Amino acid sequence: MHHVRIAPSLLAADFGRLAEEVTAVERASADLIHIDVMDGHFVPNLTLGPVVIEAVRRVTKLPLDVHLMIEEPERWVDAYAKAGADILHVHPEACPHLHRVVQQIRHAGMQAAVVLNPATPLHVLDYVLEDLSMVLVMSVNPGFGGQSFIPSALGKIAALRRMISERGLSDVVSISVDGGIKLDNAAEVVSAGATVLVSGSGIFATPDYTLTITEMRARGTSALHRHI
């Protein structure tokens, strides 16, 4: 049976107090720490890299869910493994040899994940799905926090849930959703088929992380029974 996992996105944390923020969401029962790596080319914003991830690694035991929004991710796989990433996400548009990058990630000892932008169709997964631990459905265009949820992500999540179930991969591949996730849409993304909810401002802009994370997980869990 699946369970709903909550992944606070550090992009919305106070970077001047990063270690404290990570500790706070860990204490607040977060399941994963989502870290957005942006290179100013693949997306129009620049964030952080392996050095900061290594620092985060030192202050938490939670799995680090590292979302690469960078060109040529294949050049960086080993660096992120060394920095302590557990799950490494790549965008298919950023790497022509997606299959190879996925194998590289696994050989480096991490779980591989592929991210689908709002306009990216599911069929890019056709020949790599079996090798993945997670597929991340973007519900905003990547680059910034605080944007609004794009409703067409719901149909995509549902179609992906069917694809995973038809291939007998339900216990292997998780569906994650990222962008505009808040308390009020947690139930609908889970009922569509997601089980990992990435949320930046939906958590860090609220005063009580424990209340928010607990409530988000509870609302998601209440919608779980509708899964295939």
Alpha-carbon distance of 150 to 116, in angstroms, equals 13
Comparison of 133 and 222: residue with beta carbon closer to Zn ion = 133
Residue 99 CB, nearest distance to ligand DX5 (Å)?
Answer: 23
Please report which helix (H) or strand (E) contains residue 71, including its range: none
Q: How far is the CB of 13 from ligand DX5 (least distance, A)?
A: 10
Check 31, 36, 39, 86 and give the catalytic one: 36
Distance CA 46, CA 86 (A): 22
Q: Exactly one of 4, 6, 12, 164 binds ligand DX5 (CB under 6 A); which one?
A: 12
Q: Catalytic annotation on 178?
A: yes
Q: Would you mind telling me the total number of residues written for the chain in this entry?
A: 228
Instruction: Please confirm, yes or no, whether 36 is among the known catalytic residues.
Output: yes
Residue 65 interface partner, choices Zn ion, ligand DX5, none, CB cut-off 5-8 Å depending on type: none
Q: Are the CB atoms for 179 and 157 separated by under 8 Å?
A: no
Distances (CA, A) of 101 to 1, 56, 71, 76, 142: 30, 24, 12, 10, 20
Binding mask 54-73 for ligand DX5 (x = CB under 6 A): -------------x------
**Listed ranges 55-63, 106-114, 165-173, 198-206: which one lies at the site for ligand DX5 (CB under 6 A):** 198-206
CA-to-CA distance for 115 and 174, rounded, in angstroms?
A: 12
Q: Are 101 and 129 in contact (CB under 8 A)?
A: no
CA distances from 37 to 33, 75, 194, 204 (A): 13, 14, 22, 18
Site string for Zn ion, 6-45 (x = CB under 5 A): ------------------------------x---------
Residues in touch with ligand DX5 (CB under 6 A): 9, 11-12, 34, 36, 67, 140, 142-143, 145-147, 178-181, 198-202
Catalytically annotated residues = 36, 178
